[in-house]
Amino acid sequence: MKILAKTLEGLEEILAKEIADVGGTEIKVLKRAVQYEGDRACLYRSNIMLRTALRILVIKKTFNVRDEDQLYDQIKNIPWESIMTLKDTFAIDATSSGDKFTHSKYIALKSKDAIADRFVEKFGKRPNVNVLEPTYRLSIHIRDTRATLSLDSSAESLHMRGYRANTVDAPINEVLAAGLLLLSRWNGDTPFMDPMCGSGTILIEAARLALNHPTQKKDRHFGFKRWKSFDKNLYDEIYQEQLDKRIDKDIKIYGQDKSLRSVKVTQQNLIEAGLDDKISVIKKDFFKTYPPKGLTVITNPPYDTRLKEDNINMFYRNMGNKFYKDFLRSDPWVFSGNLEALEEIDLGINDVFNLMNGGLPAKFVNYYFD
């Protein structure tokens, strides 16, 4: 089957590598997505294990359309009765770009009518629409005159891992946090620290990566679990296969934040993730930190947008000075959407990745110093 994994801008190449690891073939990198071929087992693994995927879609049909009537005919011609039954419910999400199709709600309505009318012609009845928890969630995307119709196998966005019991202001997306770790090439063999840990997302994703834990919980309500093609035995077998690949080793992961609330929120989330015995979190100001040598540091400091810091440029300048003075033989990475403030970190630059964070252009920068 043809599969499309959606991701965040800048993480496409990393996601492509992950897809190869779960058995995907014919991999094609797109903008904010990766297309590939895979069987049902690959589809299940993609949802369970991909750390940088937001959503996994199964492409049912790709076709050209000139107008709404042609869209209707193309969708109606799909043998929906072989995919779903009258007892099933469905919902359609539509997006479009270009001059031909400008009203996504009308696209969704026309597509819904096409499916319903096919069932009426064949059985005299139509399946119901359920926008909240449908059996089948469909996605129709039209770019200019090219349409792609897909089944959403994930249901909820895959960044929702299920461990975030609580949060603080401006939390980093779980998929983005995992992407930062994979871009840094950290694998758990060296000590790791997030000295401004917020709600602990980077720490949790780091531990899961180092220990090779499945990205999602087994009882997650994946969309494909509602499909009549769902193979529970295969799913159970694949999930157990992933559990068997977990690594049992000592990891040194340290988190801290100057906010007591952030520390408490992180501790709650660690318990929810089952990692409270693997990660140490304390209340401490970054500028009063004297860490052990040889750390990998990844942190997402304040941007001065929703989180406020007095004189944000000075804050970043002092952060660079602190790295230089007290983080001996460390490998520091900083992710920030304040591109001007990043320029204030007066250190050598090993690598830079251009990413997005909540619609804001951001950079992930790896620094070095003698």
pLDDT digits (tens, 9 = 90+) for 256-306: 999 999 999 999 999 999 999 999 999 999 999 999 888 999 999 987 744
Query: pLDDT tens for residues 238-261?
Result: 999 999 999 988 899 999 999 999
CA distance 267 to 165: 10
Query: pLDDT tens for residues 318-357?
Result: 999 999 999 989 999 999 999 999 999 999 999 999 999 9
Contact 197, 265 (CB under 8 A): no
In this prediction, residue 310 carries a pLDDT of: 63
User: What six digits make up the tokens of 128?
Assistant: 């119901």
Residues of the chain predicted below pLDDT 70: 305-310, 370
In this prediction, residue 306 carries a pLDDT of: 46
In this prediction, residue 80 carries a pLDDT of: 96
Which residues are CB-contacts of 179 (< 8 A; sequence separation ≥ 6)?
A: 7, 8, 10, 11, 14, 51, 52, 355
In this prediction, residue 328 carries a pLDDT of: 86
- Beginning with the edge strand found earlier in the chain, give each strand of the sheet holding 253-257 in spatial order: 279-283, 253-257, 192-194, 296-299, 331-336, 360-368, 348-357
pTM of the model: 0.94
Give buried/exposed letters for 275-297 (b at 16+ CB in 10 A, else e). Answer: beebbebeebebeebebeeebbb
In this prediction, residue 170 carries a pLDDT of: 72
Contact 346, 320 (CB under 8 A): yes
Beta bridge partners of 275: none
Q: Which of 204, 157, 159, 205 is nearest to 182 (CA)?
A: 205
Domains of the chain: 2-152 (3.30.2130.30), 174-211+246-368 (3.40.50.150)
In this prediction, residue 169 carries a pLDDT of: 76
CA distance 84 to 228: 7
